[in-house]
Amino acid sequence: MGVMAVPGAAALPLLLLLIGAAAGCGYQSCPPTRPDMLNVHLVPHSHDDVGWLKTVDQYYYGVRNRDQHAGVQYILDSVVAQLVAEPSRRFVYAEVAFLARWWRQQDEATRRLVRELVQEGRLEFVGGGWCMSDEATTHYGGALEQLALGRRFLRREFGDCGTPRVAWQIDPFGHARDLAASFAQMGYDGLFVGRVDHQDKQARLQRRELELLWRGSASLAPPRADIFTGILPNVYNPPPGLCWDQLCTDPPVVDGDGPERNVDSVVTSFLEAAATQARQYRTNHILMTMGSDFHYENAHLWFKNLDKLIAHTNARQANGSRVHALYSTPSCYLQELHRANLTWPLKTDDFFPYSDGPHQFWTGFFSSRPALKGYERLSSGFLQICSQLEALAGPSSRDGPYGPGDSSVLREAVAVAQHHDAVSGTERQHVANDYARQLAKGWDSCQVLVANALSLLGGTKDPFVFCNALNVSVCPLSETTAHFTVILYNPLAWGVAWPVRLPVSGASYAVSDPQGRPVASQVVPVSGVTQRLRGGAGGALGELLFQAWAPPLGFSTFGVKQLSPRFPPKWPSGDPEPQIQNEHLRVLFDPVTGHLREIQNLAKGFSLPVFQSFYWYNASAGDALSPQASGAYIFRPNASAPIPVAKRAATRLLKTALVQELHQNFSAWCSQVLRLRPGQPYLELEWTVGPIPVADGLGKEVISRFETPLRTAGRFYTDSNGRQVLQRRRDHRPTWNLSQSEPVAGNYYPVNTRIFIRDQKVQLTVLTDRSQGGSSILDGSLELMVHRRLLNDDNRGVGEPLDEPGEDGRGLVVRGRHRLLLDTVAAAADQHRPQAQEMVTSPYVVLAPGSGPHLRQFSGLRRALPPNLHLLSLEPRGAGSLLLRLEHLFERGESQNGSQPVTVDLTTLFSAFTITSVREMALGGDVPLQSVSRLLWTTATGTPKPPPARRLDPRQVRLEPMEIRTFLASVRYWGPGEGPGGP
């Protein structure tokens, strides 16, 4: 707000200070506080779920208000008007998915106004991701993408002042260490959380340790992954009695003289709440969140009453009150804590699992909606493929022979899916369907882009075909065509061998590699389980198998020609001894029960008895101890011993030169295939579970459990967002004395990509293809929850039992994969690190009728990256520039070779373009690294300072363990006829 020069202007600066008009944004715009008083920072906010009881569209427009009264467009309209009306008011907003949609609909005058509010610090963005992501079930790649997407929007529209200083994770159900490390590396100064375990919170409250420094990594040197973390007093709600939204029932502040006057008692109860809260925190500053879910649709109600509360509270100072109330923001509060110059407690573990009372562990959502969790993971992988091909083929891929291709549709859908009521599985059924719809729309746009890119890179105008249902052996092209081409695209930065499995009608085929040489292939029968699963969608009786391979960041093409037409493939009968093996592993089964019995590591000459089977926990509907039922959020079995799905499995053995499989049928709704292929150092377990029967009135939570004689002393290991690995101990928490009320559910942890157990010498690791809950309930055992179907709501607001109908309304069927690795402890990470990455960003099969692309093989890299490095991001960023992230996959001390630092030459890494200049960015990719300067905090061990910035030499980019480095590169694409070393 400009101030005109008028007579008596000398009085203006003081006046401006009084009404809180700001000198700038961020820390410069903070209202003055009183050093001699208790300062109560009132933070108006609205918590706007990007889908939960209603879909994103329904929330935005205010549709279906009978389900929940909420319309985000009106919230933003109303807040802007109220902020403009009174300069001292403040508001913070987090969810960019809604903001970006609203922004597109505003005229220039409104946009100017909003920009002004942001420049003056009156409207502040917190968090700043596309959504407020979940922390338990998100993979770090997806969590990073959605944060980067939101921050990019804010920076583009609002410049420096739009960049959030504070991470705002006020509703997620527990908090992950790796995400804390990500926030730190993006440049956030602090993180505020709402939900921590009730016992943890009680213990911290008594020690006044609700605010702490969280060390997000044991590999990165402090303070690089350190973030100041504040636990809010009331999750994210106002104190009782002080809620003035149209959705609240508290009386307004009445300050006239009349029978309804209540201002004195309201101020008194506010002062009492402030005094109580002040006893639990360390400084003369406290923060109160004045808002809740979808508040401020009529912002006038909140602001008018807050204006009165502030005025009447501060008026009492004349009578000796020592409390100062003010409109503020989380960053202004954080600045005051920093100025206090205290020594803060240090935390190095994480905030899982979360419980809000005895018997109430929020560990069910680690596994809820397994099909959506699987689809989210697949979609994140496909987004990387789409981005890479767009970057490798150049801008023409967006407008090629197959129409306009667009990666932004999938990027936004994947970002929405990271929300804490999306991939978490805690939304209503029609909302889960809508998340899947958004993802499917994104796949469509990306498949056009992928086809355009392959056509440009491969030199063909012939059509490409995408088969999205290969997991149930459906693909019309391969089923009906005698001659077609398979293109295998590899998004990894090292070469891979990859099994291809396609439904076919012929009995034998000739397959040729990119050089035209023959490739061994075979047709095997489609299993009965798969035939039942796909119903009428496909009719192929056989599957063609061959081993394909592809170079780093590139593709290989394989020609397929039918040799002999149809006759139903016979089930090749193997030897009677129930075992399968390849050069790495021999796997033995019990001849009577059909269960897995033993695994032998042939290369290293040792074996381990391993028993595996499926069980179900009977979901509690509430009991005498507690009315808590198992539901979408909460896992609560009614007994600690799970019930076996079956005592024995019917088995069939399939042994060919290309694959050895044992098929286990446990029941009509539970089966599994254990698979070994030549060259594969792991055992693949492909499980198919559902529809879970509930006609007996019992909700069921189905697990795959592995039992071994390993002496594990109550310890097991799970990953944090697919990245770091944390040690877990049964019935134990590192920072407080746990009183355990649920011996099973209270020991469940999120597993994003891996869980393992080990003794001194041997390690058994299971890799997952989606997020699942897992644990080690008995020494030597580990388990993963693969599916759950429940008949009761768990009373956390969703108001609907987790009972997914599936395609046909009879119950959801889910198929997924586990990879089992058996190795020495010393060598285990060298296996599980690259293997887990391969499962997250898997190679992708595209088909073409006829002979396909002219160029039979292509690699976007001139040389493969070493196995401990990963190309995390390669994505176009506007004209001639690309964002790229390189990542070190190992933790410090995890592996003799893998945990060494690595150096890469960026200038000669890529083959599709030349890098002409490079700038190093902070992890979010939105701010230059050298411009990041974060607040430093002191703990008992001192105040770590960041090392001086290193000069970037793109020819020698060095990565330390667990480090991710982010670059914005200007590139020049090779013209036609040019090439590396061309004119």
Q: Which residues are catalytic?
A: 171
HEC assignment per residue over 227-248: EEEEECCCCCCCCCCCCCCCCC
Answer for the pair 803, 783: CB distance below 8 angstroms, yes or no. no
Across 930-965, b (16+ Cβ under 10 Å) vs e yields eebebbebebeeeebeeeeeeebebeebebbbbbbb
* Per-residue DSSP letter, 917: E
Q: CB-based burial of residue 515 (10 Å sphere; 0-12 exposed, 13-18 middle, 19+ buried)?
A: exposed
Are residues 37 and 341 in contact, defined by beta-carbon separation less than 8 angstroms? no
569 and 524 Cβ atoms separated by less than 8 Å: yes
Name residue, tokens 């490095």. Answer: 869
- Give the span between the Cα atoms of 865 and 886, in whole angstroms: 10
Contact 871, 865 (CB under 8 A): yes
Q: Tokens 């033993």, residue?
A: 598
Work out whether strand 724-729 and strand 857-859 pair parallel, antiparallel, or are unpaired.
unpaired
Rounded CA separation 393/882 (Å) = 12
Q: How many CA atoms lie within 13 A of 513 on its CB side?
A: 12
Q: How far apart are the first and last CA of the chain?
A: 56
Structure tokens at 53: 């009881």
Query: What is the number of other CB atoms lying within 10 angstroms of the CB of residue 925?
Result: 24
Contact 253, 268 (CB under 8 A): no
Q: Pick from 707, 812, 709: which is nearest to 766 by CA?
A: 707
Q: How would DSSP label each residue in 666-712?
A: EETTEEEEEEE-TT--SEEEEEEE-PPP-TTS--EEEEEEEE-----
The whole-angstrom separation of Cα 873 and Cα 881 is 13
Give, for 383, the enclosing helix (H) or strand (E).
helix 370-393
Q: Which residues contact 98 (CB under 8 A, 6 or more apart)?
A: 48, 50, 56, 59, 60, 72, 76
Q: Kindly state the tokens that stand for 202.
A: 């009680």
Tokens linked to 664 = 């286990």
Asked, as a colleague might, if the bond just before 223 is cis with ω within 30 of 0, I would say: yes
Spell out where 433-519 has E strands: 483-490, 496-504, 508-512, 518-519
Q: What does the block give as tokens for 592?
A: 């009577």
CB of 487 within 8 A of CB of 846? yes
Residue 855, both tokens: 């160029």
Handedness of CA 381, 633, 363, 370 (dihedral sign): negative
Q: What is d(CA 469, CA 609) in angstroms, rounded to the nearest whole number?
A: 36
Q: Is the dihedral of CA 837, 838, 842, 843 positive or negative?
A: positive
What DSSP character marks residue 318?
A: G
User: Using omega within 30 degrees of 0 as the cis cutoff, is the peptide bond preceding 834 cis?
Assistant: no
Rounded CA separation 441/450 (Å): 14
Among 789, 786, 785, 787, which Cα is nearest to 802's? 789
DSSP class of residue 827 equals H
| C-alpha dihedral, 350 to 355 to 358 to 360, nearest 10° | -140
